[in-house]
Structure 1
Amino acid sequence: MKHQCPGNPLERYSSRREFLYVGMLGGLGLTLPGFLQQQAKAAQKFYETTEGPANGIIHIFLPGGLSHQESFDPKPYAPAEYRGPFGAIDTKLPGIQFGQKLPHLAKIADKLTIIRSMSHGEAAHERGTHNMFTGYRPSPAVDYPSIGSVISHELGSKNNLPPYVCVPNVPNEFANSGYLSSAYGPFALGSNPEQGNFQVRDLNLPKDVSEERFARRRSLLETVDHHFRSLEESDGLDSMDAFYQHAYKLISSEKAREAFNLKAEPDKTKEAYGKTAAGQRMLLARRLIEAGTRFVSLTAGGWDHHDNIKAGIEKQLPSVDKAIAALINDLEQRGMLDSTLVLVTTEFGRTPKINPTGGRDHWPRVFSTMLAGGGTKRGYVHGSSDALGGEVDTDGVTVADLATTLYKQIGITADKELMAPGLRPIEIIDGGKVLESILA
C-alpha cells in the first residue's frame, strides 16, 4: 500500500506576523538563504534516528561525465583507440583493476562497491545531471526534488544542523527542492573550504550585532510573538515557530557552528585528504556528517573531456583519488564508515573510442558508480560493460535502482507518495528496485 504525506497546515498560512518575523530576521542578517527561505510554507520534522544502517550520506558528484575507462572500468586488452592513454593497475581485489590514476582507491578496493553497469538514456549534461540528483528523467510537467531535499523532508534536522548541505554552493538547479517547499532545499556554504579565509555565510552575526543585541532582538521577537498569539489563532503558529527556533539554534549553538570549522582539524589530517579543493571539501563533509547533517553533496573537478582526455585526467584525478580514499579511511578509523554511505557519481560515461581530438564524448549507455559504507558490501564489483566499454554486458542498473537503494539505506521507503501542488501524489522514486546484491 502506498504511503501518503499528510497535508501541511502551513501551506495555507500567511500573515503580517510572518512578514514581521522575516523583516526582523533580515535586519539581523539572519537570512540563511536556501535553508530558511519560505520556511513558513512547510512543517519541519525533528527526528533523531533513522531505520536504515546509514545515518548520513556523502554524495561526491563529478560534473561533466567522468570516463569509466580511465577510472573504475579500464579496458587494458582493447585496441589502443578504445583503451585510451593510460594503463590499468591491480587493486586489493584479485582480478580487479582500476585505471592507472586511481592508486589510492586501488589500495582500499576491499572497502568499496563498484557498479560497472549504470546506464540511462540522457546524453545532454542537464538531463544526465537531473537523473543523478533526483532519480527521475526530466519532465516538463513535474519539478522533481533532489535526493537531498527528500531526505530533508522525510528525516528533518538533527543536532541543530541543516539536514542537507551543499559544498561549496548549490551545484545546479536539480539539487534543489523541486515541488517540495524550499524549506527543504540545501544550505549552501557560500565560499570554498579550501580557501584560507573560509567562513560560512549566515552562521555568524554581522559585525555591528553583538551577542547582547542578538539576545535582545530575540526577546523582542518573543514579545511580539506573544502579542500576535493573543490576536490570532492558527494551527500553523507552533510549527512556524519551530523554523525560527531552529534558525536561532543554528546561529547561537557553538556546537552547530563548530561543525563548519575546518581550522579545528589538525594539519596532519588536512594533508591526508590533500590541501586541494577536493580534499578540503571532503574533510568538511566528514565533519558535517559526524555532527549530524543527513546529506552532504559536494562537487569536485570538471570531467567533460572532449579534447585531450590525457591532460584532463592527469590534472584532476590524482587529487580526487587521494581525497576519496582519505575520506573512507578516516570514516573507518572513526568508526563511522558502517553508518555513513559514501557515493561517487557522475553525469554519464564517455564514448568507447577516443575521438580525433584525443578526447571522449558523452555516453550514457554505460558508466560506473562507486559506493562505500552505509551497509553496502565491501570489496564487491557489480555488473560489467562489454569488452570495449560501450554497452552494459551483465546486471544493468538504472538511476531509479540506485536512488531506491540509497533511500532504503537511510531509512526511507522509496515508493512513498508525496503531494506535489496541483498534481496527483507522486512516488519518491518510480519503478526502482533495491539492489540487494550490493548490500551487506
Structure 2
Amino acid sequence: MTDLIRTNCEEQARGFPLVRREFLRSSLAGLLGLCLGERSTLPASAAIPSKTSRPKSCILLWMDGGPSQLETWNPKPGSANAGPTKTLKTPVEGVLISEHLPRMAERMEEVALIRSMVTREGSHDRAKYLGHTGYSPQPTIQFPSLGAMVSEEIGDREANLPQFVSILSPSYGGGFLGAEHSPFVVPNPLRKVENLTLPRGVDRERFARRLRMLDRVERRFAADHPGVEIRNHHGNYAQTVRFMNAPETSAFDLSAESESARNAYGMTEFGQGCLLARRLVETGVRFVEVSLRGWDTHQDNFTRAQKLCGELDPALDALIADLMERDLWDSTLVVWMGEFGRTPKINGNEGRDHFTRGWCALLAGCGVPGGLALGRTSEDGEQVTDRPIAIKDLLHTVLRLLDIDPAAEFLTPAKRPITLVEKGAVGIPEILGSA
C-alpha cells in the first residue's frame, strides 16, 4: 500500500457504509482545512479568470538528466559543435529541429518553443528541485512542486482520484502545502498498478472490519501522540479507501485502449505513460507528470539522444493529436522540459556535459499560441543572444495559463509568508497574450 498512502486527504470512502460513520469520523475530524502551510492573509495579485468551461489540467513531460538542445529543438548546423545530427525544416519560418523528431517537425505550428532558457543551478539534484518548485533548495523550507501547487489551487477536493499523479518518477512533494498534495506514483505504466483492488480472499465486509479495528488502534495512538503528521496519516488512509473503491480507477487500465491507440504512442514506458496521462486528465486529474529518463549524456550523446527522441517523438505527437480529438486541447497545458541543457562543445567521450544557458522548453495547448519560437542563441550555441528566460518566469507563465495566481501567498510552519513562485518572476507576454 506504499503508493496508495501517498494520496490526497479527502472526506469519505464511498461504497463502504460500515466504515464511513466510524472510520472517517475519527480520521478526518479537524483535518479539513489543516495542512502544513496556511494561506496568508497578506494581499496578493488577483487570480487569472478562466476562459474555458472545462477545468484546466497540466501534463508535464520531464526529460530527466537534462536533454541536449542541439539534438532536439535547437540544432546548430554548420557549427563546430553541431555533431552528426542532421536537421529538419518545420512549417515555422527559421525553425529547424533534429532529424530524430520527424513527427514533431510537422507539429511546430501547434506549439510554442523557448530556445533561451537559463538556470542558476548546474547539478542535477539542485536543478531538478528548482525546475519543479521554482526555488533553489533551502534547509529550512520545503517548497511545493508544480504538481502540488496545481493540486492545491485547482484540484477537485471532491474527486475520487488523486489530483497529482507522477508516472515513472516519484517527482517532488507537497512541501509547505502539505503531504496531501504529494503525488500518487505509478512506477511503470506497462504494469498493472498495484493495490487498487482488495487482496485475494478478502471481501468488502472483511476489509471494513479490518479498517474498524485499525481505526480503534490508531485513535488510541493519536490520543497519546497528537500532531499534524498523525492527522495527515489518518486522512491518507481515508483517501486510500475512497480511491480503491472508485470506478474512476479504470483510467489506470491501459488494456481498455485499442491496440492501434497504444501503438500510436509507442509501446515504451514513456509512450504508455503519455497515454495514461491523457486518460487521467480526461478522468479529471489536474496534474500528471511523465518522466523520460536517460538524458544525462556525458558519454555517447548522439546514439543515446537518437534513441530517446525515438521514444519522445511518437508519444508527444500522439498526445497532441489525442488531446485535440477529444476536446481536451484548450483545457490541457503540455509542458516539455528538463533541469538544464547540454554543452554545445563535445567532450572527449562523444558526450555533452551540463549546461545552464540556452536550453529549450516547450509549451502547447491551453491557449498557448502555436508556431512561436522565443529566444535565440549564438551560432555555436554557447551564448543566449536574445530573451533569456529564467525558470521562475516559465513557472509563472505556466500557473497563469492554468488560471492560478503565481503571487498567491502561504504561511510556512514558521509563519513565514511565501509566494508560490519566487518574487520578481514575470510572465512571458508572447505566450500569455492569447491565454
The alignment's TM-score, normalised by the length of structure 1, stands at 0.81
* Residue aligned with 2:362, SS: strand
Q: Please state if 1:181 is matched with 2:198.
A: no
For 1:66, the equivalent position in structure 2 comes to 67
* CA displacement, residues 333-366 of structure 1 (integer Å, 9 cap, x when unaligned): 1111111001111111111111122111110022
1:76–1:87 contact (8 Å) kept in structure 2: yes
Give the Cα–Cα distance (whole angstroms) in 2 for the partners of residues 44 and 321 of structure 1.
42
For 2:353, the equivalent position in structure 1 comes to 361
* Residue aligned with 1:145, SS: coil
For 1:389, the equivalent position in structure 2 comes to 381
For 2:202, the equivalent position in structure 1 comes to 209
* Residue aligned with 1:418, SS: strand
Structure 1 residue 31, shift from structure 2 partner: 7.5
1:44–1:242 contact (8 Å) kept in structure 2: no
For 1:411, the equivalent position in structure 2 comes to 403
Give the Cα–Cα distance (whole angstroms) in 2 for the partners of residues 253 and 120 of structure 1.
41
* CA displacement, residues 12-64 of structure 1 (integer Å, 9 cap, x when unaligned): xxxxxxxxxxxxxxxxx69822115898685369xxxx836561100010111
User: Residues 325-404 of structure 1: matches in 2 within 5 Å?
Assistant: 325-404=317-396
What amino acid does structure 1 have at the position aligned with 2:92? L
For 2:189, the equivalent position in structure 1 comes to 193
Identity %: 33
For 1:33, the equivalent position in structure 2 comes to 5
Structure 1 residue 243, shift from structure 2 partner: 6.2
Give the Cα–Cα distance (whole angstroms) in 1 for the partners of residues 330 and 7 of structure 2.
28
For 1:8, the equivalent position in structure 2 comes to none
Give the Cα–Cα distance (whole angstroms) in 1 for the partners of residues 406 and 397 of structure 2.
8
2:86–2:99 contact (8 Å) kept in structure 1: yes
Structure 1 residue 269, shift from structure 2 partner: 0.2
Give the Cα–Cα distance (whole angstroms) in 2 for the partners of residues 123 and 116 of structure 1.
18
Equivalenced residues, count: 391
Give the Cα–Cα distance (whole angstroms) in 1 for the partners of residues 81 and 61 of structure 2.
27
For 2:112, the equivalent position in structure 1 comes to 113
* Structure 2: runs of 5+ lacking an equivalent: 11-26, 35-48
Give the Cα–Cα distance (whole angstroms) in 1 for the partners of residues 65 and 337 of structure 2.
11
* Residue aligned with 2:4, SS: coil
CA distance 1:42–1:152, shift in 2 (3 Å)? farther
Q: Please state if 1:51 is matched with 2:55.
A: no
Give the Cα–Cα distance (whole angstroms) in 2 for the partners of residues 244 and 409 of structure 1.
33
Structure 1 residue 257, shift from structure 2 partner: 0.9
2:69–2:342 contact (8 Å) kept in structure 1: yes
For 2:165, the equivalent position in structure 1 comes to 165
For 1:14, the equivalent position in structure 2 comes to none
CA distance 1:223–1:370, shift in 2 (3 Å)? closer
* Residue aligned with 1:95, SS: coil
* CA displacement, residues 349-404 of structure 1 (integer Å, 9 cap, x when unaligned): 11111112211111002200011101211111111112111221111211011111
Q: After the TM superposition, which of the residue ranges 339-348 and 418-427 deviates more from structure 2?
A: 418-427
* CA displacement, residues 295-346 of structure 1 (integer Å, 9 cap, x when unaligned): 0011113111111211111222111111111111111111111110011111
* Residue aligned with 1:366, SS: strand
* Residue aligned with 1:408, SS: helix
CA distance 1:349–1:242, shift in 2 (3 Å)? closer
2:62–2:338 contact (8 Å) kept in structure 1: yes
* Structure 1: runs of 5+ lacking an equivalent: 1-28
CA distance 1:73–1:223, shift in 2 (3 Å)? closer
* Residue aligned with 2:357, SS: coil
* CA displacement, residues 232-252 of structure 1 (integer Å, 9 cap, x when unaligned): xx9x9x999976654333211
* CA displacement, residues 184-207 of structure 1 (integer Å, 9 cap, x when unaligned): 111112x4112xxx2212321122
For 2:148, the equivalent position in structure 1 comes to 149
For 2:131, the equivalent position in structure 1 comes to 132
User: Residues 311-322 of structure 1: matches in 2 within 5 Å?
Assistant: 311-322=303-314
2:300–2:351 contact (8 Å) kept in structure 1: yes
CA distance 1:179–1:392, shift in 2 (3 Å)? same
User: Residues 80-99 of structure 1: matches in 2 within 5 Å?
Assistant: 81-99=80-98
